């Protein structure tokens, strides 16, 4: 299971990338990418059972987010965008269920395809 947890990490998280990490209490709505709300300071994380960790690129696009429960990744979202900033692809990894859903969108944000596979 430990290898599976590592597989949920954003693949673009390397020393040479310049991602900003932010933490949030929850999200609102059902649209992707998730609309994370109620920011948390680093100092508040130790007091939380559940929170969201989000990674933003230089253009302020959320490239990934993780739902953390009891210090473990419960689920992860990975996002890619068209040059216009519209969501192109969303990969949602559900850790407990060991499933991954890959969704693709057209340049206007309309869902083109969605496929769920077992990990």
CATH of the domain at 80: 3.90.930
Give, for all 119 residues of the chain, the pLDDT tens digit. Answer: 333 334 444 444 444 468 999 999 999 999 999 999 999 999 999 889 999 999 999 999 999 999 999 999 999 999 999 999 999 999 999 998 999 999 999 999 999 999 999 98
Measured CA to CA, the distance from residue 51 to residue 37 in angstroms comes to 11
Q: What pLDDT was estimated at residue 119? A: 86
Q: Tokens standing for 98? A: 């060991």
Expressed as residue numbers, the domain containing 45 is 2-118
Query: CA gyration radius for the chain?
Result: 14
DSSP code of 98?
A: T
Q: What pLDDT was estimated at residue 10? A: 46
If one counts the domains in the chain, the total is 1
């Amino acid at each position: 299971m430990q290898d599976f947890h590592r597989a949920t990490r954003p693949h673009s998280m390397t020393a040479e990338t310049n991602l900003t990490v932010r933490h949030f209490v929850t999200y609102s709505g059902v649209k992707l990418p998730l609309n994370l709300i109620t920011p948390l300071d680093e100092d508040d994380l130790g007091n939380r059972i559940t929170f969201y960790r989000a990674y933003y690129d230089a253009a302020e696009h959320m490239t990934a987010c993780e739902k953390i429960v009891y210090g473990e990744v419960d689920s992860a979202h990975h996002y890619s965008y068209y040059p216009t900033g519209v969501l192109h692809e969303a990969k949602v990894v559900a850790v407990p269920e060991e499933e991954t859903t890959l969704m693709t969108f057209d340049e206007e944000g309309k869902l083109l395809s969605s496929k769920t596979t077992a990990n």
